[in-house]
Structure 1
C-alpha cells in the first residue's frame, strides 16, 4: 500500500483494511502524521507489523477534536470490529476497562478483565464496563481530568470523617461518610456526575458541552445566576478535559524531562522577538453575566535543560488574581484593560517578555492599548502582546497581520501556549468560584 498524500497532524484514529475493507488493525494517535510515518518509513519493523502492511489494501483516517476523543473512538471501534491484528498483538489481559459498580453511590475504577464479581467484593456489587481501552496512562489521565469536573467516590468502605478527596473537591463527600446519606437530592447529584462520566467515555462529550452551553445561556437570560454558574462550571470543566488533557501526546512533564530543543529560540522565530524571553504571563477573565468578575495572572519562567536546551515551567508563587472593580456587566475586553493596568503599576514585579491573553482580537486590542500607554508614560520597554483564540488554537500577535495557526507549529509550542491558557483559566475560575461562594453565604 502506498503512503497517503495527505495525513493530518491532528488527533484521531487510523484503520488498516484488507481486500474486503474489513478492519485489520485500529490505532490512535495524538498526531496522525507522526504516528503513521513509522509504518511507511524504511525503519525495521516487527514481523507482525510487516505482515499487517502486506495484507493492508486501504487506510481509513478519522480525525477527532481532541486526544481524549481519539482514545474513546479507538475503544468503540475495537469493541465493534475486534480487528485481527489488535487481537494478535495484545491479549485480553492487556486491555483496560472502566468499571462502574451497581451501588446506590456507584464507584469507578480501572480493571484489566471484566468480571461479574471483582475479587474481595460482595456478590451483589457487580459492575458495568466501558472499553476496551489500549492505553492505561491515557485512560487514567482522562479519568483524573473527569473527576475534577464530576467528583465521584473511590472509598471502599464508609468512614466517620470526610475523606481527603472530598476536601480537595474530587468527591462529593456524601457517598462514603457514615452514616451514608439518604437525601434524594444528594443521590441524584451524585448519579448525575456518574452519568456525565459515562456519557463522555461513550463519546457524547461534545453533545454534553452544547447542552450545558445552551442551559447556561437560558438560565442567565432568566436571571437564574446560581443555576447558570453551575452549567458554566460544567461547560468549562468539559472544555478543559478535552482541550487541556493531551493524553496521547507529550505532556508538559515529558517536555521538561526530554527537552531536546531550544524553546526560547523557537518562540523568537515564531513571534519575531529580539532579545531574551524569560518570563511569559497569561491572563484570563472569569464571570457569569458580569457578576463576581475576576481576572487571573499566571507566570511561566524559562528553565535550562542543559546546553542550549530550555523550556518554560509554571512559577506558581508568582500567580496573582484580581477582583474586577471598575467594570459592570459582561465586558471581557474592558476587564482585561483593568487587570493589565493594575498589574503594570507593580514596578516591583519582574517585567514580562510576552503576554498571552485568553481571547481573540477584541482582547488583544484591549491589552495593546494598556501596554502601549504604560510604556509611553514610563519610557520602558514593553512586552509583546498575544491572544490565544480557543476554537481553532489561533494565536493573534501585535506583530503579525494574520493569526498564527498553532496546530501547524511544532507540538511543544502548541502545548506551551495551551498550558498557559489553561492555567490562567483554571486559576481565574477557582477565584471566581470562591467569590461566588462568599457572596452566596452573605445572602
Structure 2
C-alpha cells in the first residue's frame, strides 16, 4: 500500500480498507498527516499494525471541522462497520460509552461497559415488611462506542456550558456551585422541602403534584436531547431546529427565550468552528484577521464587513473638565490594530452636570458632524444600556443629514456598549447582552483592548486639561 500523496494537517477520520473496499480499521486524529506518518514509519514493530498494513490496500480520509466532529464521526463509523482490526470492539472495556438515565432530570455518565439489563429496587428498603421488587424507572440509554475518554470528557464539559445539566449525586437545600456558574439549571437537584426553593420563584413547585413545574422539566430534557443530537452526529439538524425555534419566539415577542437559543447557537458554532477544539488555543501567530472578522460577524449577526472599529469613553471628575476619546482599530494583516493617526479627542461643551449618558450623546452627535472622517463599521463604547440608547438616539438624529444624495459614503454602524463588571456586550435592538466571557478568547480580548485604549486616551486628555487649568490658576 502506497502512502497517500496529500494528507492535510487537519482533524479527521482515516479508514484502512482491504482490496474489496471493506473497512479494516477506523481511527481519528487531531492532525491527520502526523497521525498517518506513524503507520508508515520504518521503525514500526507492532505485529498487529504490520499485519494491518500488509492487508490494507487503500486509506480513505474524511476531514472534519474540529476534533470533536472527528471523535463523533469515528464512533459512528466503528458502530456501523465493526472493522476487523478495531480489536478493542471485542472487549468492550476498551471503549467508552455515554449513558443517559431515563428519569425526570436525566443524568449523564461515562462508562466502559454499558449495562442494558433491567434494574430493580426495593421501594422502601428501610421497611421491615415485605415489598414487591419494582423495576427501576431510570434505565440507561447509551451512545457509543468512543475511543478517547479524555476527549469525551472535554467534549461533555464544553457542551455543558451551552446545555447545562445536573451532576449532583444527592439533593440539597440551596443552589449547588454548578448552578451558580451556569453549569446546572439548579432546580433539578433541590430537596422538595427546601425553603430556598419555596421562596424563590425560579424554583417554583407545583403544589398539587409536589414536583417541579412542567416547563422546567421540558427545559432540562431539551438540553439533554440536544446533547444527544450532537453526540449522534446530528449537529446540522440541531442548528436548523434551534434557528427555527428562535425565529418563532422572536416573532411571538418571547425575547428572553429567543436570547437563550441565540446563545446556544453561538456556543455550538464556537465549538465546531475551532480547528483545535479539544485543546483550545488562540489565533496562531501570523494568521490573517479574516477568521477573527468572521467570528465578529457571527457574534453580531451581520454579513457586513468590519474593517474599522471606533471605541469611545468619557473621563471626568464630578463633571469638571469632562473629555471623551475616539480611538480607531483598523483591520490589518494579522488582527485589528490601533490606528493612532485616526484618533480624536473631544472636550465636552454642552453638558455641565455629572451625566456620562448625556456626554456620550453629545460626542456621537459631534462625531457624525464630520463626514470627512472615515465612517466606522462598528462602535464600541464603555458603559451599558443607557449609554447604548443615548448613542443610538444621537446617531438616528444625524441620519437625515447623511442621505445618499447628500453623502454617498455614509453607512450606519453597529452600535455596542461594553459593561466592564461582567464583560457583557449590549447591542442595538438586542434585548439581552452577550456574555463575552463565554466567547472565544480572541473576541473577548479584542473588545477589552478597544475599551482599555479608549479609556487610556480619554483619561490622558482629561489630565492634560486639569493640569492646564491648575497652571493658569
Are the equivalent residues in 1 in contact too, given 2:266–2:299 (CA < 8 A)? no
Matched, 1:57 2:57: yes
Q: CA deviation at 1:229?
A: 1.4
2:161 & 2:237 partners in 1: Cα distance? Answer: 19
Alpha-carbon shift at residue 95 of structure 1 (Å): 0.6
Decide whether the 8 Å contact of 2:270 with 2:439 is kept in 1.
no
For 1:82 and 1:74, the matched residues in 2 are separated by: 11
Describe the shift of the 1:341–1:331 C-alpha distance in structure 2 as closer, same or farther (beyond 3 A).
Answer: farther
Q: Is the 8 A contact 1:141 1:245 kept in 2?
A: no
- Correspondence 1:306-345 to 2 at 5 A: 337-338=309-310, 340-342=311-313
Where 2:220 maps in the other structure, the secondary structure is: helix
The separation in 2 between residues aligned to 1:12 and 1:112, in whole angstroms, is: 24
Indicate the RMSD between aligned Cα atoms, in angstroms. Answer: 4.4
Partner of 2:115: 115
- In structure 2, relative to structure 1, the CA distance for the partners of 1:112 and 1:49 (3 Å cut) is same
Inter-CA distance 100–170: structure 2 relative to 1 (3 Å threshold): same
Distance 2:171 2:31 in 1: 44
288 and 10 in structure 1: CA distance in 2 versus 1, 3 angstrom threshold? closer
Shift of 1:215: 4.1
CA contact (8 A) 2:165 2:224 kept: yes
1:422 and 2:391 are equivalent in the alignment: no
* 2-structure distance, mates of 1:63, 1:331: 27
Pair 1:245–1:154, CA change in 2 (3 A): farther
Structure 1 contact 13–63 (Cα < 8 Å) conserved? yes
Contact map agreement 1:285 1:428 (CA 8 A) in 2: no
Q: With structure 1 as the length reference, what TM-score do the two structures score?
A: 0.60
The C-alpha deviation readout for 1:218-240, integer Å capped at 9, x for no partner, is: 55566553333122111011112
Q: How many residues align?
A: 313
CA displacement at 1:24 relative to structure 2:
0.8
Q: Deviations over 1:308-346 (max 9, x none)?
A: xxxxxxxxxxxxxxxxxxxxxx898789734x35499xx
Match of 2:61, SS state, is: strand
Assess if the C-alpha contact under 8 Å between 2:309 and 2:330 holds in 1: no
1:9 offset after TM fit, Å?
2.2
Q: Is the 8 A contact 1:100 1:107 kept in 2?
A: yes
Query: Does 2:191 match 1:178?
Result: yes
Give CA deviations for 1:265-296 in whole Å, capped at 9, x if unaligned.
x94x668xxxxxxxxxxx9699878xxxxxxx
Distance in 2 between residues matched to 1:223 and 1:336, nearest whole Å = 33
Q: 1:187 to 1:55 in 2, by over 3 A?
A: same
Q: Secondary structure at the match of 1:84?
A: coil
Alpha-carbon distance in 2 for matches of 1:60, 1:73 = 14
Please give the secondary structure, in 2, of the residue aligned with 1:3: coil
Unmatched runs of 5 consecutive residues or more in structure 2: 123-134, 193-209, 289-294, 316-328, 347-377, 379-436, 448-473
User: 1:80 is matched with which residue?
Assistant: 80
How is 1:31-430 mapped onto 2 (pairs within 5 angstroms)? 31-87=31-87, 91-116=91-116, 124=136, 125-179=138-192, 181-217=211-247, 219-220=249-250, 224-244=254-274, 246-247=276-277, 250-252=279-281, 267=285, 337-338=309-310, 340-342=311-313, 371-374=340-343, 422-425=440-443
Give CA deviations for 1:148-194 in whole Å, capped at 9, x if unaligned: 10001111222222111111111111111011843000000000000
1:37 Cα deviation after fit: 1.6
Aligned-pair CA distance for 1:91 = 2.9
